[in-house]
């Protein structure tokens, strides 16, 4: 009976020892194992074995990305303006060995390093640049921290500045400057609008004058063309009439009609002279009227011949 109890106790002791030698490492974690107080190995995720009473887990490091809040701190820019800045630091452990033996508390160390680096980088920039180039400031801080934290096995992923608070006097001056800048932009936009409106009005007046001139020009051209067409039509009608008169005058009946017309006009002229004058001169012979008609016929033939020749030449 006693032997059975001893065997049970011994079996339990052996099982406990074996169990303590089996280690299941979770994902994204690493165990730093020491043997006789000296670093032996690093156990990664999965099933791992250690020697009980000889090996021990010195540290349990997380390989996940971690976020550390950087408290508010003061800094002075290159143009001697005091600022209060806070931020958030994101980092992860790359080498559990260095994170365990390279620094006592890597979280505290990287936080302090972030603060000192932030003050150093602020001193390289002017006040306006800290607001305009915040991304560049964050990148400079990350680069400086990574260079200093490399012996600790730490990699800084990014640094984000949460808030930059200048003194109240600087805030008032910045607000006044922003207000003046907004007023300036408003005045510039208003003047640009007036300038564009004046240009548009001038362009409209110019187009109106041009269109009016073109309309007058077209009207004058049309009027001139109409007058020319009328003159041509009248000339053609007169030429046609003269041609018809000339053609009719070349016949015997035409000659008689001309003589009758001339005689009639001569008699009318005599009547007009007799009516307007108290003295009337009569021809000495009776053939004076016939001679007048003959002379008139000779003149008419000459004129008709000249007009006919001119029309033929045209």
Residues in the chain, pLDDT under 70: 1-2, 246, 248-250, 252-260, 262, 266, 269-314
Tens digit of each residue's pLDDT (9 = 90 or more) over 101-114: 988 888 999 999 98
Residue 89 has a pLDDT of 92
Alpha carbons within 13 A on the beta-carbon side of 231: 6
Residue 288 has a pLDDT of 52
Is pTM beyond 0.85 here? Answer: no
Torsion of CA 36, 37, 43, 49, to 10 degrees: 30
Q: Is 255 exposed, middle or buried (0-12, 13-18, 19+ CB in 10 A)?
A: middle
Residue 227 has a pLDDT of 86
């Amino acid at each position: 009976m006693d032997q059975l109890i001893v065997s049970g106790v011994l079996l339990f002791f052996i099982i406990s020892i074996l169990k303590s030698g089996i280690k299941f490492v979770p994902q994204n974690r690493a165990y730093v194992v020491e043997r006789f107080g000296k670093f032996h190995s690093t156990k990664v995720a999965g099933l791992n074995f250690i020697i009980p009473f000889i090996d021990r887990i010195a540290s349990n490091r997380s390989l996940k990305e971690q976020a550390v809040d950087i408290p508010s701190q003061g800094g002075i820019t290159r143009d001697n303006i005091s600022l209060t800045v806070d931020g958030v630091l994101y980092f992860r452990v790359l080498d559990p060995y260095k994170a365990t033996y390279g620094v006592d508390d890597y979280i505290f160390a990287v936080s302090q390093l972030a603060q000192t680096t932030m003050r150093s980088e602020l001193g390289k920039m002017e006040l306006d640049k800290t607001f305009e180039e915040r991304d560049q400031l964050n990148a400079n801080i990350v680069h400086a921290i990574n260079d200093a934290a490399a012996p600790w096995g730490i990699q800084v992923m990014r640094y984000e500045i949460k808030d930059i608070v200048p003194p109240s006097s600087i805030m008032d001056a910045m607000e006044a400057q922003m207000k003046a800048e907004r007023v300036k932009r408003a005045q510039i936009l208003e003047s640009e609008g007036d300038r564009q409106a004046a240009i548009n009005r001038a362009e409209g007046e110019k187009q109106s004058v041009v269109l009016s001139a073109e309309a007058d020009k077209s009207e004058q051209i049309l009027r001139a063309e109409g007058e020319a067409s009328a003159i041509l039509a009248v000339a053609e009608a007169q030429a046609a009439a003269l041609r018809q008169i000339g053609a009719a005058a070349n016949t015997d009946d035409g000659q008689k009609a001309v003589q009758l017309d001339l005689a009639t006009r001569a008699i009318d002229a005599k009547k007009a002279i007799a009516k307007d004058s108290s003295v009337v001169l009569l021809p000495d012979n009776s053939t004076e009227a016939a001679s007048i008609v003959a002379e008139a016929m000779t003149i008419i033939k000459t004129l008709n011949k000249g007009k006919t020749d001119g029309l033929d030449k045209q």
